[in-house]
Structure 1
Amino acid sequence: MGRPIDARGWHFEVEDITTPATPVWHRIGNVNSWSYSPSENEETADTTTNDSEGAYEQDVMQRGATLEVTGLWAQTGTVRDPGQEYIDDVWAWRLGSESRNRVRYRHKSQTKWTVWEATVTPGEQGGEHNAKVGWGATFTRCGLPTTTDVVTEPEA
């Protein structure tokens, strides 16, 4: 039997495709809460017939999922967190087929990233006078997820 893992051990990254020849993955900083919904956008077809003898039956016709991350607006001096900035200033403004981008996530103990092609919905931002500014985004998966190995960068 395994041990529970910490929710704070998860890493979330967004792919910056502004230079397609050399895509870069940006970590999304200052996340303090996240939620994965593996049944979001699921669609079913009722397959109940007289042969079902009064018991409901269905087939799943579509699978979907969302991933919501929330946290605090991250900025050092005039430099925004690169992941948050890419989501807010680049990805969130795209429409149509251009609205898709890749996002990936994993727990620090895992050796593979889960990768989604997704759309993004920016979250609310704001706060009260004695609070830090909140930030968030919701990713809606398009298609099936894939995985890729975690590559560690060589030390300089």
Structure 2
Amino acid sequence: MAATQYNARDCVFQIENPASPGTWVDIGAGRDGIMTFSVGRKTESTDMTDFASGGQEESQVMQRGKTLKLEGKRLKDVATGVLDAGQQLVETLADQVGDASWGRVRFASPGDTTYAVWTATAEMGEEGGGNNDKVSWSVTFTRSGAATTLPRP
């Protein structure tokens, strides 16, 4: 089959429950709370220019990193006050420091046979809304180390 476009809404994002390793929880109730996502890439290079460079810049990439940003709506049971399980795990991770600030997230696109798995830190974005809005929610995960994979059922 030829490569074709696919729907962003069909991508899956999950966080591992640290209290139950190997248990993955949908972030935003299985996409209900996620409206956009973006994967960012960053590099850090070192300057290698010297007198023999003839006035031309020379550099070498020394480090590569990635981020995953999820944006959408905050999901809460207004009768009980209980937040969406995945969003709650994300917010708890975002409050941690030191070794506890690392958690695992995984995500996949339609047709993927594996999940991309990251050990990552989480930083919450702003939350809010106006008179006629639903409350917004966002997080940026910053990968720590290389990505791994897990089979996708």
Q: Which amino acid aligns with 1:37?
A: G
- Structure 2 Cα separation of the partners of residues 148 and 86 of structure 1: 20
RMSD of equivalent CA atoms: 1.4
CA shift, 1:13, in A, is 0.4
CA shift, 1:45, in A, is 0.5
CA shift, 1:6, in A, is 1.6
1:106 corresponds to which of 105, 108, 122: 108
In structure 2, runs of 5+ residues without a counterpart are: none
Identity among equivalent positions (%) equals 37
- Structure 1 Cα separation of the partners of residues 110 and 23 of structure 2: 19
1:118: which partner in 2? 120
CA shift, 1:54, in A, is 2.1
CA shift, 1:53, in A, is 2.2
CA shift, 1:71, in A, is 0.2
2:25: which partner in 1? 26
1:35: which partner in 2? 38
1:12: which partner in 2? 13
- Structure 1 Cα separation of the partners of residues 88 and 25 of structure 2: 10
Aligned residues: 146
- Structure 2 Cα separation of the partners of residues 150 and 104 of structure 1: 10
2:84: which partner in 1? 81
Q: Which amino acid aligns with 1:9?
A: D
2:144: which partner in 1? 142
- Stretches of 4+ aligned residues off by more than 3 angstroms: none
- Structure 2 Cα separation of the partners of residues 38 and 146 of structure 1: 17
- Structure 2 Cα separation of the partners of residues 58 and 134 of structure 1: 41
CA shift, 1:50, in A, is 2.6
CA shift, 1:38, in A, is 1.8
Alpha-carbon contact 2:6-2:110 (below 8 Å) kept: no
**Normalising by the residue count of structure 1, what TM-score does the alignment of the two structures yield?**
0.87
In structure 1, runs of 5+ residues without a counterpart are: 152-156
CA shift, 1:25, in A, is 0.7
- Structure 2 Cα separation of the partners of residues 146 and 36 of structure 1: 16
